[in-house]
Structure 1
């Protein structure tokens, strides 16, 4: 497909709410010169550290460069990590107002300590509890307030407790009342029935796991891979959804639509440095494109180009509208 500044102007009209497990990513880099006298562990002399929105917050952060109407709903604690996350979201022009605050749970955070391009340790702060009935009532109120000002909702599940079957059903009900698109980035740790949503976007590992099949990594091309084709058939029936987009890493994406033959989209990545966050970029741009009137195949193509840019960057990266425009121009 061709992609021009007119497409970018269309994307800018999209109004998206991301719902899911929000996190704060903390990256610490330094040098190791000696081993601690207190224990046989390296001493890291910190030279640089950065914070980024993580989890569902990173999905919202991928949308905001393209649309000023990006909202985020999840659960944070009453702590400094939540304050930092809100400040980062505001800086990235993401609306943090829909976030719920839990009085005792910590904001989920992940600190990664690296030296000489090697991660030494990761420190997680999290306590996983499902949403309470009171929180579901609060979610419903906020969803109903926002729904008239939305085009689409992304359900971003990292298996951290926020995404429950009751929440999914609530979102699907309100979305149906307002004719909103609902897309899902699922977690294999939290299998849910996704009937009522518009599209589910698992990666290859998640798709095979959800279908209950083993991936033998057959050498055939995706459209000739009988195992992959069977996965698509099973998941369309199991989840009872109209379409499924399976991301395949270096093999691109495979689109399964009810009543249509499978459609393969080759990868647009030129070099792969870091695949972290590529799935967030894929669901973000896919949903934004669908929300602004692009066809499903057009949206998948836009999503594929966007992911191809992000995997060529290090860390939890995003992309700019100009980068996406350049990627299409160079194809």
Structure 2
């Protein structure tokens, strides 16, 4: 396919709501010169620290450079982490207004401490609790208000409690009423019935786990991998959806559509430095392209190009519209 600046204009018109487990990512870098006299642990002298929107918030952050109409719904606490997350979202042109505030739960945050290019420790703040009926009622009220001004919804599940069967059914019902696209990035820790959504995008590990099959990493092209083909067939039936897109890391993506032959999209990554966040980029650009009217195969191709860019960057990275244009322009 060809991808031009006019295509970017089509993406910019799309209105996307991301729903899911939102987090605050905190990165701390430093030097280690000595061991603590208090315990046999290294002392990290901090040289740099940064904060980024994480989880479902990172998906929204991947959409916002392409569309000014990006909204985020999730759950945060009454704490400084929530204040920091809102500030970052506004800086990234993501609307944080749909976020729910919980009186007692903390905002999920993950602090990673690294020295000499190696992570030493990760400190998590989270308390997992499924949505209460009162929260679901509030979500329905906000979703019905937003839905007439949306083109698509992304359900981003990290298995932290926000995405439940009741939430999924509510989203599918309201989306059907307004003819909205619904895509899902599932969590293997939270198997849900996804009937009623447009597409589910697991990675390879998640796909095999959901299908209940073992991946023997058979050699050869993905289209000749009998195990992978069986996974696609099983998931289309199990989830009762029209399409499943399995991301395969360095092997690209495999698209399974009901009634059609599987379609393989080779990777576009030139160099891989960090795969963290690549799945967030894939679901973000895939959904944005579908909302803009691209075919499923072309939307997957756009998502594949976008993922190929972010894996060439360190950390929780995003991409710019110009980078995506350049990636297509350099395609052989």
TM range (shorter): over 0.9
Residue of structure 2 in register with 1:23 after alignment = 23
**Residue by residue, what CA displacement relative to the aligned partner does 1:233-277 show, whole Å, maximum 9, x if unpaired?**
000000000000000000000000000000000000000000000
Residue of structure 2 in register with 1:185 after alignment = 185
Question: Deviation above 4 Å: which 4+ runs of structure 1?
Answer: none
How far off its partner does 1:137 sit? 0.2
**Residue by residue, what CA displacement relative to the aligned partner does 1:202-243 show, whole Å, maximum 9, x if unpaired?**
000000000000000000210000000000000000000000
> In structure 1, what is the Cα distance between the partners aligned to 2:72 and 2:198?
19
Aligned length: 331
Residue of structure 1 in register with 2:89 after alignment = 89
TM-score normalised to the size of structure 1? 1.00
Unaligned runs of 5+ in 2: none
> In structure 1, what is the Cα distance between the partners aligned to 2:150 and 2:108?
27
Residue of structure 1 in register with 2:229 after alignment = 229
Residue of structure 2 in register with 1:6 after alignment = 6
SS in 1 for 2:208: helix
**Residue by residue, what CA displacement relative to the aligned partner does 1:101-156 show, whole Å, maximum 9, x if unpaired?**
00000000000000010100000000000000000000000000000000000000
Residue of structure 2 in register with 1:312 after alignment = 312
How far off its partner does 1:68 sit? 0.1
SS in 2 for 1:244: strand
SS in 1 for 2:217: coil
Residue of structure 1 in register with 2:168 after alignment = 168
**Residue by residue, what CA displacement relative to the aligned partner does 1:35-80 show, whole Å, maximum 9, x if unpaired?**
0000000000000000000000000000000000000000000000
What does 1:90-239 align with in structure 2 at a 5 Å threshold? 90-239=90-239
> In structure 2, what is the Cα distance between the partners aligned to 1:292 and 1:139?
26
Residue of structure 2 in register with 1:278 after alignment = 278
TM-score normalised to the size of structure 2? 1.00
Superposed CA RMSD: 0.3
Q: Indicate yes or no: 2:284 matched with 1:287.
A: no
How far off its partner does 1:33 sit? 0.5
